[in-house]
Chains A and B, each alone.
Chain A
Amino acid sequence: MQRSDLSREDATEVTPSPELDATIVRRLGDMGVSRRQFMASLTRMASLLALPPSMLPQLAMAATSPTKPSVVYMSFQECTGCLESMVNSFAFKGGGTIENLLLNVVSIDYQETLMAAAGAQAEHQLASSTAKSGYVLVVDGSIPASANSGYFVSGGRSGAERFRSAAANAGLIVAVGTCASFGGLPKADPNPTGAVSIKDMMASLGIAKPLINVSGCPPIPEVITGTILLYLASGMPALDTLLRPKTFYGRTVHSHCYREESFEDGPRVKAFDDAASRKGGCLFDMGCKGPVTKAACSSIKWNQGLSFPIQSGHPCMGCTEPNFWDRVNKGGKKGFYVPLAGSYDD
């Protein structure tokens, strides 16, 4: 095999080895943190996040920065699964000083579920957190398009009104989860609340701010925190046409799937728990949406890299893609277990 034979899909990234500058080493010394332990911890995190090792100095700079960017996290029509996922991204084993240092890379100044304040105190906290400019506004859940729909009213204000005022001074808006990114379950047929995505809500309210979509139901924990870290370390990441970071959404689940070999050569799974299933056969005929789903599930995986749905024998549901609840598949049918229409000779 010659170098010219290497396809783009096969490309392994060889990156310059990271070196920390004196400023970061001094900051670590002041914090009483071992440089070696810190580097080891960052390396593990960067690897989990599928970031190139050459980005470590920038991540280190962001992680040791004396100023913590403010994050305002607002929830709308959602199930709290995305927040649960994000909180789990900090559940690294050990949980010592260095992990706490990484955890404290941002200051979460408002989050209804996590904060102790409620009622008027919470509303006051939201007002004061959003009075300053330049904070990162993280949003999960979709919002009813109409301010007068009667759906989603909190603190006496509609979702649209709450979002409009929270977005006014934000420097960046991050839509976390498929509900915020594309409408998700609330927008699924028949969409009783008239839910729209954050992008569409911004358009209807005339809000022109940078937006990153971190889709998934929920997104992988490391993808949520990795996106924020990427932004802090090097500014706006490269996005795909659906405004998702290419680092995490650049490839299909199928392209990294360990069952991909039997997609081409067979035998494919024809029924759950059949012989092919037990041998790790391809789940395409069981409705797997991996070939059309851009996500890092088959590379970063879940639960600190332990597994992902296909590895547990279940087809990919395509949850990072728009309208995945209502996707029309083979034979014009909807459903997670209906195979994709057309052929996918990857």
Chain B
Amino acid sequence: MREEKVVRHVLLQVEAALDQLGKGGSPSTIDLRQVPGLEAKAYQLLKSRLGSGEVSASIATSDGVAETVRAAETAFSGVWWITHHNGAGDTVTEQIEICPFPAIFAAHPEEIRDSAVRLGPLCNQNAEVEAS
């Protein structure tokens, strides 16, 4: 069956990427929109083969009304199913990311430094309130 061939192909790629990550290599990504022949049947088969894990996370739009990105751990640790939505909530693209945790969710070092700077005045404000 064509869909079986497509799914096995993707799983082999995931296996190779996991192997690389396990040996200290870099995270990697497969854009499912660019997988040749991943039509509805193959898509469903791939999703069921990878299953679901314990963790999920999402990023909301700036107004918090809709989800723009959702990451769900699969049954295989280190393999994440990422779904991207547009402003109307339609699925635009999906990816499989092979990593400890998708980088888009983790705070960037630059943002952490910025947080420390922004938190400073708040600490001083609290100190002034306590002193008075």
Contacts and interface: CB of A to CB of B under 8 A. Distances in A.
Interface string A75-95: 000000000000000001111
B68 A37 contact: yes
A18 B30 contact: no
Given A10-B36, A47-B33, A53-B29, A93 B62 contact: no
Nearest to B68: A40
B34 A50 contact: yes
B24 to A, nearest CB: 14
Given A9-B36, A43-B84, A93-B90, A14 B12 contact: no
A273 interface: no
A17 B27 CA distance: 5
A151 B99 CA distance: 60
Interface stretch (A21-29, A185-193, A211-219): A21-29
B59 A37 contact: yes
B104 A14 contact: no
Contact of B114 (A29, A43, A256, A261): A29
Interface residues of A, number: 47
A16 B26 contact: yes
A19 B59 contact: no
A15 B29 contact: yes
Interface string A33-70: 01111011001101110101110000000000000000
A299 interface: yes
A93 B87 contact: yes
Interface string B53-74: 0000001011000001100000
A212 to B, nearest CB: 22
Nearest to A53: B29
A96 interface: yes
B95 interface: yes
A278 interface: no
Contacts of A36: 59, 69, 104-105
A105 B88 CA distance: 24
A258 interface: yes
A53 B9 contact: no
B87 A22 contact: no
A208 interface: no
B42 to A, nearest CB: 11
Contacts of A116: none
Interface of B: 2, 5-6, 8-10, 12-13, 16-17, 26-31, 33-37, 39, 59, 61-62, 68-69, 84, 86-88, 90, 92-93, 95, 97-99, 102-105, 108-111, 114
Which 6 pairs of residues, A with B, have the shortest CB-CB distance? Answer: A94-B87, A47-B93, A17-B27, A25-B110, A53-B29, A22-B110
